[in-house]
Amino acid sequence: MRKVYRKGAIGALTDEYEKAPDELKVILLKISDDTFKKINEKVSEQDFQYNYLQTFFLCGL
């Protein structure tokens, strides 16, 4: 079956946004549950807002 793409810039973006979740699902299915939990626990321990503000004020971004 041939894929019909939308025309124009907005159509191209829409096609990409439609395709992205399927690609992400393929990647996530390759990761074992144990590995995902380890990564998730490590990332969850970080306070992203604090790190962003710290970087902002220290680097003058």
Both tokens assigned to 12 = 């191209």
Q: Where are the domains of the chain?
A: 1-30, 32-61
Gap between the terminal Cα atoms of the chain: 49
Higher pLDDT, 59 or 17: 17
Count Cα atoms within 13 angstroms, Cβ side, for 54: 6
- The confidence score (pLDDT) of residue 17 equals 93
Mean pLDDT of all residues in 2-11: 90
pLDDT in tens, 30-51: 888 888 777 766 665 556 555 6
- Residue 52 belongs to what H/E stretch? helix 48-59
